[in-house]
Amino acid sequence: MRNNHTTAGTYVIGEDNDCVQENNTDHFCNGPLKPNTVYVFKFRATNINGQHTDSEYSDHVKTAVDGLLTREEQIILGVLLSFFLAVLLIVIICASVRIHQRKKEGGTYSPREAEIIETKCKLDQLIAVADLELKQEKLNRYSSFFFRRKEIYVIQLLSYRKSLKPVNKKSFLQHVEDLCANDNAKFQEEFAELPKLLQDLATTDADLPWNKSKNRFPNIKPYNNNRVKLLSEPGTAGSDYINASFVSGYLCPNEFIATQGPLPGTVADFWRMIWETGTRTIAMLTQCYEKGRHGHYILVRHFNYTSWPEHGVPESCGTLIKFVKAVRAHRHDNTTIAVHCSAGVGRTGVFMALDHLIQHVRDHDFVDIYGLVAELRSERMCMVQNLAQYIFLHQSTLELLNNKGNSQSIWFVSYSALEKMDSLDAMEGKAPFH
């Protein structure tokens, strides 16, 4: 028997004028919003097990120039948020009743319905602010935003990734030169430290007998907690499984799907994933080809980067930077971007890290590639798989900071030392665990 306790109320963002945000902590307080600043928010529903489901992020919302909401705006905001919360709770309760009736009648229900009933109708309103410097955009005020949008939102704010080894942009060139000294000794040392930061995350779903054959490499598996779940087919064990993981982008969680290249037996699952997740953009980092199935259809932009050699890294950072920017520029309506290579970790991890860095260097005075790779690996194992790829990210960052994008190889990196390590020419997915 499950007891549901729901409460609808009003939450005013930025009402605590005495709140002081503590640095280097996960604690957030409801401090005043900054004037003339852009914010985004979303709804999150969380159950007692810590599992949660999120709405899409809202459009950008800009505060008033003086930083203060008028009394009328506060009333509108409070009323609308209460209404949205109440509607969301009603939807969850109705779904719970429906699923309970199905179970009582001996029927079946999908994993998505099961996740809804496990929610227990509890909403955690976690607030973090993303201060976006979008000075060129003319954005509407709060009231016009709420009346224009039809989607349901609950407030959750964004937080930047934690910095582990931040380096000032002005010092980054000297930092990379230091890492390259003595046959890349400090590069090797830093890269070897990354596995020590990983949590012990479960991958048992990938090890189930009916799922093992769907993994291209036995040692590259998605974590249970953020794997992409397909809609289950009744009576078919493992029909919800695909070797793919949701990965956070620069500002938005679940902005990417990192996945392996489709196998002959998983091509249909790949396109089913694209359809069910509403993905409209695919970035392919290999030279293989896939084919789809015809029926109902959606238009998908398929970007293929063919200059990445089977072994090692691209000769030029500039071409990959342009490719990543092109994919970002053609992203459709903020839908998920699916990225795959062979195993879905090495080249895929470099792509996602580079997409993050392109946006990060515009907004910050520091760079933290080490912390970024560690964060990516917390969402999918072995992201940025080998030392050559890790060094390539540093070279690409130098290109971004110099605004050139046309250099060739890393001019002061000792590739002879890399070749001795066997990591440069190792096949993706078969390289040692990093």
Q: Residue written as tokens 């919003």? A: 33
Would you state the structure tokens that stand for residue 29, as one six-digit string?
């307080």
Helix (H) or strand (E) holding 268: helix 267-277
**How do strand 61-62 and strand 256-259 relate by DSSP bridges?**
unpaired
Task: Say how many C-beta atoms besides its own lie within 10 A of residue 5's C-beta.
Answer: 7
Rounded Cα gap, residues 195 and 20, in angstroms:
34
Q: Residue written as tokens 């003339």? A: 36
| Residues 240, 243, 246, 247, Cα dihedral to 10° | 170
Q: Which residues pair with 301 in a beta bridge?
A: 281
Query: Letter for the amino acid at 63?
Result: T
Sign of the four-CA dihedral 216, 220, 221, 222: negative
Rounded Cα gap, residues 190 and 165, in angstroms:
10
Would you call 341 a catalytic residue per the annotation? Answer: yes
Q: Which of 121, 180, 317, 341 is catalytic?
A: 341
Q: Does residue 167 sit in helix, strand or coil?
A: strand
Active site (catalytic) residues: 341
